[in-house]
Amino acid sequence: MTQFPGYVPPSPSYLDAGKVSVSTPVGPFDLVSPLKGIYTLTSVPGTTGVPGIVGDGTQLKPGTYTFTVSGGTGVGPITASIDYPRSFQWNHDAITAVDGSQPLTITWTGGTPGALVSILGNSSVAQGTTSDVGAAFTCWANATQETFTVPVSVLSALPPSYTDNSAHAHGNLQVVQAFYGDTLTATGLDTA
């Protein structure tokens, strides 16, 4: 459980890896680097002409994804592949509100062996001068168990979410699968 605004951890140092591209079951793509050491590729159907955004409706599909890194001033060249797992789906439609006095059971299908599921929740009680003021939690679960119950002891620590003038409630629940694959090595990288 964390309160925000609050402690801000030190910023990491990012490394220049040069050009990064990926070959996927749905085609090859170049990743963009909006900031040194940050590489992204996003799918936003209907978007055209924006580098790093796939706008034609293409979605990720299971299969082998091969990343090729040309190498830059901070990292040497790398080629690494991961097998992207089957589809992960969680029961977001079944959750319309969170009652802090009751446990919250989240279920999903398509959990990948070796992966983790991250359950992130936050609730803002008010708008602050630089960000909202509230609290957040993170829970982790083995992806193959396909269910997790957030206990009342965690949920009751969240403040009630406020609703702004646009009728937007400032509370959020995210459930994502994290699958990292095998460790890779390259000049300029260490495992520390």
Domain shared by 79 and 91, yes or no: no
Domain shared by 61 and 103, yes or no: no
- Domain that includes residue 56, residue range: 20-84
Kindly give, in sequence order, each residue whose CB lies less than 8 Å from that of residue 8, ignoring residues fewer than 6 positions away.
none
pLDDT surpasses 70 at 7: no
Q: Is 185 part of any domain?
A: no
Among residues 66, 84, 102, the one where a domain terminates is 84
Mean pLDDT calculated for residue range 151-160: 94
Q: Is 114 part of any domain?
A: yes
Cα–Cα distances in angstroms (integers) from residue 93 to residues 89, 172, 174, in the given order:
11, 14, 12
Domain shared by 114 and 37, yes or no: no
Among residues 57, 84, 111, the one where a domain terminates is 84
Smallest Cα–Cα separation from 59: which of 80, 16, 88, 79? 88
Domain shared by 28 and 78, yes or no: yes
Mean pLDDT calculated for residue range 116-145: 90
Domain shared by 56 and 125, yes or no: no
The Cα–Cα gap between 75 and 11 comes to 19
Share the mean pLDDT of the chain.
85
What is the pLDDT, as a whole number, of residue 152?
Answer: 96
Domain shared by 112 and 78, yes or no: no
Domain shared by 24 and 58, yes or no: yes
| Amino acid identity for residue 103 in this structure | P
The pTM of this model reads 0.64
pLDDT surpasses 90 at 112: no
Domain count of the fold of the chain? 2
For residues 104 and 12, the model is more confident at: 104
